[in-house]
């Protein structure tokens, strides 16, 4: 696209939908390649990546970086090509990732970095009968009493892991809203993942009956509306960047359970760098089928997440206010987008 834009005499910009820290990770790859000469390997020691203030353990490095032709080589190329554009627009805000944003700005030489976030789809509601059922149920629950478990449209678990989760949820005693998705059908891998046709078959015997007065299960949840609801007190999340921005926008604390893509390093950033989330898991990966998370560990995290005294709760509330200020008139992202518009005009004028 950059070449095409050049041919047409049009300025190109990158819109980067992940965090500023991940952009920093991509820019770190050429340095990594110069030092090591190959993709990441699981036995590698921690990496010093400038966009992160702590050394980054190899077990949270994005999966693509371990696979030469499955992502490492192309990301390495992106790191160079991104710098041929007129600037990079990142879906984040300066107050959320101060270290990463400052580091990117000081390190990217003349390449402008524009923080434009949080960009959220606040209007995109899906109204259907299940959505209504969920919101009605939430209306009947006391404030901050419900733990919400949801792992994105691609986030699924095998029955043995679901069973551990069910035991933990039941033992925690908390009210819950749990979005459960099935893995791609084994007998027909062309079928996409979806909803289990009968949850009684995969959850521990009697679970549904015993918890029917304090919990609700669904195959798909209107995540934004759920997070906006005052009944929700905590969110067990896969830490996709959208979900992260959404949970902060509504001030709901997260317990981290990353699954794939760059979610492990997002979880690491939230827990270690920003102290804005509670660690359930940092290094869980869907592709490592053997790493079953046991019920005790999940239960402990849910209790800690829902504890009203947890200091993370206050920090997340502060970040909620900052995320809203960032996009208002005079806020950091507002100013940054203004600068983007000015720079586009200048680039256009220089061409003419
Ligand atoms: C993230 O949110 C944006 C809307 O703000 C949407 O267009 C995009 O598809 C979402 N990405 C994922 C992976 O869900
Ligand atoms: C789901 O499975 C349970 C136990 O296997 C059975 O009792 C129940 O009737 C099934 N429900 C549906 C809707 O098929």
Q: Are residues 301 and 223 in the same domain?
A: yes
Region 207-226: mean pLDDT is 93
| Per-residue pLDDT at 266 | 98
With a cut of 70, say whether residue 184 has pLDDT above it. no
Question: 214 in a domain, yes or no?
Answer: yes
Band of the pLDDT at 198, cuts 50, 70, 90?
A: confident
Closest C-alpha residue for ligand 1 atom 1: 242
Average pLDDT over all residues of the chain: 92
Q: Are residues 133 and 273 in the same domain?
A: yes
**In whole angstroms, what is the distance from residue 275 CA to residue 316 CA?**
9
Q: Are residues 218 and 146 in the same domain?
A: yes
| Per-residue pLDDT at 308 | 94
**In whole angstroms, what is the distance from residue 237 CA to residue 181 CA?**
14
Q: Are residues 87 and 224 in the same domain?
A: no
Region 22-27: mean pLDDT is 96
**In whole angstroms, what is the distance from residue 18 CA to residue 2 CA?**
20
Question: 95 in a domain, yes or no?
Answer: yes
Closest C-alpha residue for ligand 1 atom 12: 242
Q: Are residues 84 and 48 in the same domain?
A: yes
Question: 122 in a domain, yes or no?
Answer: no
With a cut of 80, say whether residue 187 has pLDDT above it. no
| Per-residue pLDDT at 201 | 83
Which of 121, 248, 259 for mutating ligand 1's site (highest number of atoms within 8 Å of CB)?
A: 121
CB atoms within 10 A of CB 191: 11
With a cut of 70, say whether residue 190 has pLDDT above it. no
With a cut of 60, say whether residue 151 has pLDDT above it. yes
Q: Are residues 198 and 332 in the same domain?
A: no
Is-contact 252 234, C-beta < 8 A? yes
CA–centroid distance, residue 241 to ligand 1 (Å): 9
CATH of residue 137: 3.40.50.2000
With a cut of 70, say whether residue 129 has pLDDT above it. no
- Structure tokens belonging to residue 183: 């893995």
Q: Are residues 60 and 171 in the same domain?
A: no
Backbone torsions φ then ψ of 296, nearest 5 degrees: -60, -45
With a cut of 80, say whether residue 189 has pLDDT above it. no
Q: Are residues 151 and 74 in the same domain?
A: no
**In whole angstroms, what is the distance from residue 249 CA to residue 228 CA?**
9
Question: 124 in a domain, yes or no?
Answer: no
Closest C-alpha residue for ligand 1 atom 10: 242
Closest C-alpha residue for ligand 1 atom 11: 242
Residue corresponding to tokens 């827990």: 271
Q: What is the dihedral of CA 226, 232, 235, 240, to 10 degrees?
A: 30
Q: Are residues 148 and 55 in the same domain?
A: no
CA–centroid distance, residue 219 to ligand 2 (Å): 16
- How many domains would you assign to the chain? 2
SS3 (DSSP) at 54: coil
pLDDT digits (tens, 9 = 90+) for 289-323: 677 999 999 999 999 999 999 999 999 999 999 99
Ligand 1 shell residues, CB under 6 Å = 119-121, 242
Region 61-65: mean pLDDT is 95
Q: Is the CB of 287 under 6 A from ligand 2?
A: no
Q: Are residues 18 and 133 in the same domain?
A: no
With a cut of 70, say whether residue 193 has pLDDT above it. no
Backbone torsions φ then ψ of 69, nearest 5 degrees: -95, 5
CB atoms within 10 A of CB 6: 12
Q: Are residues 186 and 315 in the same domain?
A: yes
CA–centroid distance, residue 240 to ligand 1 (Å): 10
Q: Residue 33 belongs to what domain range? A: 2-117+327-351
Which residue, among 241, 87, 222, has the nearest Cα to 148 in the 3D structure? 222
Q: Are residues 113 and 167 in the same domain?
A: no
Question: 166 in a domain, yes or no?
Answer: yes
DSSP bridge partners of 218: 179
Q: Which atom of ligand 1 is nearest to the CA of 240?
A: 13
Which of 196, 198, 201, 203 for mutating ligand 2's site (highest number of atoms within 8 Å of CB)?
A: 198
pLDDT digits (tens, 9 = 90+) for 336-351: 999 999 999 988 788 7
For residue 203, the 8-state DSSP code is: S
Question: 123 in a domain, yes or no?
Answer: no
**In whole angstroms, what is the distance from residue 244 CA to residue 248 CA?**
6
């Amino acid at each position: 696209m950059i070449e095409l834009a050049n041919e047409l005499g049009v300025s190109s910009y990158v819109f980067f939908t992940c965090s500023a820290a991940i952009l920093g990770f991509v820019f770190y790859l050429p340095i990594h390649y110069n030092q090591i000469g190959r993709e990441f390997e699981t036995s590698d020691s921690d990496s010093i990546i400038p966009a992160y203030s702590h050394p980054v353990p190899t077990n949270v490095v994005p999966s693509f970086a371990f696979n030469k032709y499955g992502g490492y080589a192309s990301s390495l190329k992106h790191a160079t090509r991104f710098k041929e554009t007129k600037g990079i627009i990142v879906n984040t805000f300066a107050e959320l990732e101060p270290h990463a944003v400052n580091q990117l700005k000081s390190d990217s030489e003349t390449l402008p970095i524009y923080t434009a976030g949080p960009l959220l789809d606040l209007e995109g509601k899906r109204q259907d009968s299940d959505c209504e059922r969920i919101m009605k149920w939430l209306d009947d629950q006391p404030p901050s009493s419900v733990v919400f478990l949801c792992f994105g449209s691609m986030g699924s678990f095998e029955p043995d892991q679901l069973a551990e989760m069910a035991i933990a949820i039941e033992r925690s005693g908390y009210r819950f809203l749990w979005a459960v998705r099935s893995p791609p059908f084994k007998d027909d891998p062309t079928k996409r993942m979806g909803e289990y046709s009968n949850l009684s078959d995969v959850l521990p015997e009697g679970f549904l009956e015993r918890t029917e007065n304090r919990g609700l299960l669904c195959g798909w949840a209107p995540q934004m509306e759920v997070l906006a609801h005052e009944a929700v007190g905590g969110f067990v999340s896969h830490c996709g960047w959208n979900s992260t921005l959404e949970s902060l926008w509504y001030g709901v604390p997260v317990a981290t359970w990353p699954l794939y893509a760059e979610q492990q390093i997002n979880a690491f950033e939230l827990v270690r760098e920003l102290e804005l989330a509670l660690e359930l898991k940092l290094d869980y990966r869907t592709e490592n089928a053997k790493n079953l998370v046991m019920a005790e560990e999940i239960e402990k995290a849910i209790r800690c997440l829902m504890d009203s005294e947890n200091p993370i709760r206050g920090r997340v509330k502060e970040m909620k206010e900052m995320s809203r200020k960032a996009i208002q008139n005079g806020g950091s992202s507002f100013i940054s987008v203004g600068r983007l518009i000015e720079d586009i005009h200048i680039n256009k004028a220089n061409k003419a």
